[in-house]
Amino acid sequence: MSELDAEDAKLVTLARGAMARAEAGSGAAVRDADGRTYAGAPVALNSLELTALQAAVAAAVSSGATGLEAAVLVGGAAEDVGIAAVRELSEGAAVIVTDRAGNVL
């Protein structure tokens, strides 16, 4: 397990908070190029389905973000389809995947 810097640890905290509020199995948070943060939890409606990471990226984009510095996915998998959305905005953004407790995988 690697040690996270303070800004990435903040993303883990935000992602875990989103996960807890939604009573979900995963949560995500992203930091945009201006340092603003956005969090999300999975959405499962009949008309809309998003992973937590997709929801966090959508929140960032809908708030005007044009690039991302980092993304954290808590309780997810390295194959999450939301990673493609992160890469579409910023190919070089750090993507960190952790277990539900926030330990880096």
In angstroms, rounded to a whole number, what is the distance separating the alpha carbons of residues 98 and 96?
7
Split at pLDDT 50, 70, 90, the class of 16 is very high
Mean pLDDT of 61-86: 97
pLDDT given at position 3: 82
Residue 2, pLDDT score: 58
- Asked whether 29 and 5 are in contact (CB, 8 A), the reply is no
Check whether 46 has a pLDDT greater than 80. yes
Averaged pLDDT, 10-25: 97
Average pLDDT, integer, range 54-64 = 98
Among 23, 46, 47, 38, which residue's Cα sits nearest to residue 82? 38
3-state class of 39 per DSSP? strand
The whole-number average pLDDT for the span 56-76 is 97
Of the chain, the end-to-end C-alpha distance in Å amounts to 7
Q: Minimal CA–CA distance to 25: which of 71, 70, 59, 73? A: 73
pLDDT of residue 1: 41
Bridge partner residues of 97 (DSSP): 73
Residues 33-47, mean pLDDT to the nearest whole number: 98
pLDDT given at position 66? 96
Mean pLDDT, the chain, rounded, equals: 96
pLDDT at site 63: 98
